Amino acid sequence: MEINSDEFVGQAAKSESGEWLICWGDYDVTNRGESFSIRVGNREEGYGSYVLYNTIQNKIILRGHSARPNSGSAANNGYFALEDWGFNGSGLSSIFYVYSPSGEIIVERRFEANIFNSAISVEGKLAVCQTCHNPASSDGNLLTLFDLTTKKELFSTEPVEQWAHQYEFLEEQQILVVLLKDIGKYRYDRFGNFLDYAKYNSDRLTCRNYGVILRSADELLKEPDLDPQRVDTILNAILRAKSLGADSDQGNKLYALKLQGYALELLGQEKAALSVYEEALKINSKIGVKRKAAALKKKLDGGKVY
């Protein structure tokens, strides 16, 4: 986005109505007489700037500054969200802001973690952000939803899946919908409860991302009291993951063989499980199934010790 009248150049995001543009520039310009310097991106100082522009009125409504404004979003009521990535000295930290068109701060939430992504709802009633991992802080890997009408944080919780690809909002019900790449759409209520576990688990097994399938199978095989029909469903998903490409990657092939062996054992197909374990051990003897294979071999051979 370039605003000639304001000598501003930066990135921009538009509200769904098209009326509002939030523009931000993660750089600082310092004028010293006839010379000037520009500091961009990671830096120790030099505030970036943002501009709220109304396309119907064809004018700038608001100008402001923050350390490193990034990844903005705008709502139809002129509210807008920005991530402040902070200066280098801040370490793993960030601030999530939501402003009104008058410049009032609606949300100012500091995290001891970097923000991964964020969004504001169409009509400006809700906003969300999600943080990256930070082993040194409880602020890492958090999904946080805000009610912009009351200016309150509704919930901040560790998400079921690592990071959302996009967000949607059911504003009146205060429902957050997360879009997980290659998997599907799932809902959180205003208290942070994940509402779609059954659909989520089913979708992970039936998607076309073999990495997602194998991680899901691994989790599900650890559940207590699995019935044979459920185990058979998981086994078929593992076999499908292999056909989708896991077999062409040695690490994932070993992972798939290990899970396949577990599933076959649970189904009582011990000879087939042993064969799978032995196939995995031929590729890598440290895959972690040597004891299982030895125990099965001893059992199938009538208790002989090898």
Q: What letter would DSSP give residue 88?
A: G
- Take residue 2 and report the two structure tokens written for it: 């370039």
Contact 43, 27 (CB under 8 A): no
Q: What is the mean pLDDT of the chain?
A: 93
CA atoms within 13 A of residue 166's CA, in its CB half-sphere = 7
CATH number listed for the domain at residues 204-300: 1.25.40
Contact 24, 82 (CB under 8 A): yes
Residues 163-199 have pLDDT tens digits of 899 999 999 999 999 999 999 999 999 999 999 999 9
Q: What is the pLDDT of residue 303?
A: 61
Beta bridge pairs of residue 153: 146
Residues 86-120 have pLDDT tens digits of 997 767 899 999 999 999 999 999 999 999 999 99
Distances (CA, A) of 59 to 25, 54, 70, 78: 18, 6, 22, 13
Burial of 235 (0-12, 13-18, 19+ CB in 10 A): buried
pLDDT grade, residue 6 (50/70/90)?
low
Q: What is the pLDDT of residue 172?
A: 97
Strand intervals (E) in 148-183: 152-157, 166-170, 175-180
State the Cα–Cα distance between residues 218 and 69, nearest whole angstrom: 40
Q: What is the pLDDT of residue 42?
A: 87
Q: What is the mean pLDDT of residues 10-28?
A: 95
Residues 253-286 have pLDDT tens digits of 999 999 999 999 999 999 999 999 999 999 999 9
Q: Give me the helix-helix angle, 290-300 and 270-283, nearest 10°.
A: 140
Q: Where are the domains of the chain?
A: 2-195, 204-300
- Sequence letter at residue 172: E
Q: What is the pLDDT of residue 304?
A: 58
Contact 143, 164 (CB under 8 A): yes
Q: What is the pLDDT of residue 29?
A: 78
Give yes or no on whether 2-195 and 204-300 have one common fold: no
Q: Is CATH 3.40.50.720 correct for 2-195?
A: no
